[in-house]
Amino acid sequence: MSCCFFGARKEGHDLVHHDTRDTGGDSIASTKNFSFNELRLATNNFHQTNKIGRGGFGTVYKGTLKQGKEVAVKTLAAESRQGLQEFLTEIETTSNVKHPNLVEIIGCCADGNNRILVYEYLENRSLDQALFKD
């Protein structure tokens, strides 16, 4: 079962609604709920050649969704000290903040033991290109 704490469906994906018991009820964030299989397909089974980095959360892969959209897929490392609460907090904070210079969270996956965040993919550009693209 995926995302047992999430509800409602829209366009083939579940909408993520944080359980307000977890958040104190003061905000509700909405992101897409991906199945593990969707992200496995998008990253060619998390293939080494799609690996683009590693941070505190875990390994990051480049993926391509069925519709052709490129995404960054952040997988929570098994040894990571970031647990479910941090996972929810990252979704909560990133989905509530929108800014042209901040990468946007697209969705997440909590399927079995897997905890994965999906972001829009950003090309590796110089900072001035990223900041002054318009």
> Which parts of this chain interact with ligand ATP (CB under 6 A)?
52-57, 60, 72, 74, 103, 119, 121-122
Minimum distance between the CB of residue 20 and ligand ATP, rounded to whole angstroms?
27
* 113 three-class SS: coil
Kind of pairing between the strands at 105-111 and 32-33: parallel
Q: Give the residue with the Cβ less far from ligand ATP, 42 or 72.
A: 72
Q: Give the residue with the Cβ less far from ligand ATP, 60 or 91.
A: 60
Closest by Cα among 36, 34, 16 to 88: 16
51 is in an annotated binding site: no
Question: What are the backbone angles phi and psi of residue 28, rounded to the nearest 5°?
Answer: -130, 125
Binding positions for ATP: 74
Query: Residues annotated in the binding site, as ranges?
Result: 74
